Homo-oligomer: A and B are copies of this chain.
Amino acid sequence: MLKKLILACSALSLLLPHTVTAETILFHNMNGYTLTGEPGSDAQLRRFDAVIVVDGKVAAVGSKKNVTENRSWQFDQTVDLNSKTVLPGIIDAHGHVLGLGLGLLEADLRVAESERDAVQTVTAFAANQAQSDWIIGRGWNQENWPSKRFPTRQSLDESFANQPVWLTRVDGHAGWANSAALKLAGITKDTVSPDGGDIIKDANGEPTGVLIDNAMKLLEDVIPAPSIERQQQALQLAFQHLLERGITGVHDAGVDATNIQLYQNFAQQQQLPVRIYAMIGANEPRLPELLAAGPILTPDESLTVRSVKIYADGALGSRGAALLEPYHDEPGQRGLLVTAPEQLHELYQLIIPHGFQINTHAIGDRANRIALDEFARSYQSIGGRNLRHRIEHAQVVHPDDIPRFKELNIIASMQPTHATSDKNMAEDRLGKERMEGAYAWQTFLEQGTIVAAGSDFPVELANPFFGLHAAVTRQDRDNQPAGGWYAHEAVTLEQALRTFTLDAAYASGQEQTLGSIEPGKWADFIVLDQDPFAQEPSKLWQPTVLATYVAGEAKFER
């Protein structure tokens, strides 16, 4: 850690005068809200109408009279925010930045209303692509289609006889290929489904084109990797996309060594406008080397790397989530453990001695139990209770296991929009009896567990107001179902904002410098066209971001 910190310092020291605004700025005439104090239930909501920023950090926040009267400030700039609403910059505690950016370079099928509609969208998109390129798209969800059935290669083959097409499902746990793509991957009726995956086959034993979880790898291995240039372009598109939605910090949920290097390059060139807390993907071959190199923390806190993302299981929609009891709508199937328990044990034992945080993806109740068991075993054997480990998603947790999050100091990293996106499917998969302990936000908060909120973009849309709305109403953006879906797990707007700001900062160990508009913290805040606290809950998803400030600098203005 020591050596790394120094290297980071040295590398950046020449660039520093440009990294943050070396100015004293008065922002005034605003309708401001922030949580204040320590994360968790002790935090309090506070209002203000002026913020003084010095060298990129908050110096004072309160009424204009109060913040200006006791010191003779010399303002280099005064910014009138026209009575608009100001919130702390949103921290999305679980997203995939490169995936989002590459997605922005791909066909978007999230709004497709049927298999035919999806094929038409891809066809229109392909008209602008080189014929030699693979056609890549994502975001389809057969649950939104009249058929509710997985699509097939045949519908794609009509438009794409020779050009390979690969379209991943909205949750990233299934993909849909045409025949040309299957051929390039060598997937035939004789190909055996790999462990933790499934090649779906039709009545004749032929692949239908849909591949589940680990089977996706068979196909994705033959897709040429995006070039470094394409990755850079994708990341920059993603940064802009996030800033436009008020996101000033992202916990990037699983990156490889190349991605980290790209982030470091951006940081050194002051081209990292969104704060990145990057989790190293446990499948990165260079993981031991990256751990041995120690944490990365740039002095301007634009980039932090000191955690590892491990996949315990798959997702609920594709029945990849590992359940304790069989799926309600597919008896005999209990889901997939993407990482075997013994492998999980070895990873925990590898990671903890480096002082890194472990963020284990666990959606099903079996995966959650195994992840918790392994945390308990590690604390007992080598320690690590201090490292603020997390379970990513914590979506379906057995009621017996919920208190263990508190006992074991585990942060629940949850995505409010998943509940409202999943509501048509989750009961099918689980049956009603198992809904207790599913998407149980309020239960986690009430027992004192820190909940960090995210969107899981690009699985869901990155817009954080969709998440705030879903958390408060337990409804989709059509405000269905009436009264909210298992509404006893709804949270207040203040709680929801906390999970997207101060508590998310805690989840990356940065609550002393990020997550609220308070003296000594980086001046990360956003300006909105409307006041969520004065809004009806049903409209909480509607605010538009007018400006996004990071370290006191406008990184986006509408």
Of the candidates B10, B59, B299, B521, the one whose C-beta lies within 8 Å of that of A13 is B10
For A10, list chain B residues within 8 Å (CB).
Answer: 9-10, 13
In the bound complex, what is the Cα–Cα distance between A388 and B518 (angstroms)? 12
Of the candidates B12, B36, B346, the one whose C-beta lies within 8 Å of that of A386 is B36
* A57, B355: Cβ atoms closer than 8 Å: yes
In the bound complex, what is the Cα–Cα distance between A558 and B352 (angstroms)? 33
A519 within 8 A of B: yes
* B66, A353: Cβ atoms closer than 8 Å: no
Binary flags per residue of A514-526, CB closer than 8 Å to B gives 1, else 0: 0011111100000
A204 within 8 A of B: no
Binary flags per residue of A9-43, CB closer than 8 Å to B gives 1, else 0: 11011001001100000000000000011100010
In the bound complex, what is the Cα–Cα distance between A448 and B42 (angstroms)? 10
For A55, list chain B residues within 8 Å (CB).
Answer: 1-3
A20, A509, A516, A520: which has the most chain B beta carbons within 10 Å? A520
* B37, A353: Cβ atoms closer than 8 Å: no
Chain A interface category by residue count? 35 or more
Interchain Cβ contacts under 8 Å between A and B, 22 examples: A1-B55, A2-B55, A3-B16, A6-B16, A6-B299, A37-B386, A37-B409, A42-B448, A48-B383, A52-B353, A54-B353, A58-B383, A59-B353, A59-B355, A62-B381, A66-B382, A70-B345, A70-B382, A356-B520, A385-B518, A386-B512, A387-B518
Q: Name the distance in Å between A266's Cβ and chain B's nearest Cβ.
A: 18
- Chain A contacts with B in 509-552, Cβ cutoff 8 A: 509, 512, 516-521
A477 within 8 A of B: no
Closest to A56 in B: B2
- Chain A contacts with B in 370-415, Cβ cutoff 8 A: 379-388, 406, 409
Extra contacts, 19 of them, besides A62-B382, A71-B353 (Cβ < 8 A), are A6-B12, A6-B13, A6-B16, A9-B13, A10-B13, A36-B383, A36-B385, A36-B386, A37-B386, A38-B409, A54-B353, A59-B355, A60-B353, A60-B382, A61-B382, A70-B381, A382-B519, A384-B519, A387-B518
* B9, A520: Cβ atoms closer than 8 Å: no
Q: Name the distance in Å between A39's Cβ and chain B's nearest Cβ.
A: 10
A553 within 8 A of B: no
For A19, list chain B residues within 8 Å (CB).
Answer: 2
Of the candidates B1, B67, B71, B349, the one whose C-beta lies within 8 Å of that of A57 is B1
Q: How many copies make up the complex?
A: 2
A286 within 8 A of B: no
* A299, B2: Cβ atoms closer than 8 Å: yes
The 10 closest A-B pairs by CB, nearest first: A355-B520, A9-B9, A66-B381, A59-B353, A70-B349, A60-B382, A386-B518, A36-B385, A37-B385, A61-B383
* A384, B518: Cβ atoms closer than 8 Å: yes
A5 within 8 A of B: yes
For A37, list chain B residues within 8 Å (CB).
Answer: 385-386, 409
Binary flags per residue of A101-138, CB closer than 8 Å to B gives 1, else 0: 00000000000000000000000000000000000000
Q: Name the distance in Å between A552's Cβ and chain B's nearest Cβ.
A: 12
A183 within 8 A of B: no
A46 within 8 A of B: yes
A3, A353, A355, A387: which has the most chain B beta carbons within 10 Å? A353
A198 within 8 A of B: no
Closest to A386 in B: B518
For A388, list chain B residues within 8 Å (CB).
Answer: 38
* B9, A5: Cβ atoms closer than 8 Å: yes
* B519, A60: Cβ atoms closer than 8 Å: no
Q: Name the distance in Å between A28's Cβ and chain B's nearest Cβ.
A: 13
Q: Name the distance in Å between A360's Cβ and chain B's nearest Cβ.
A: 17
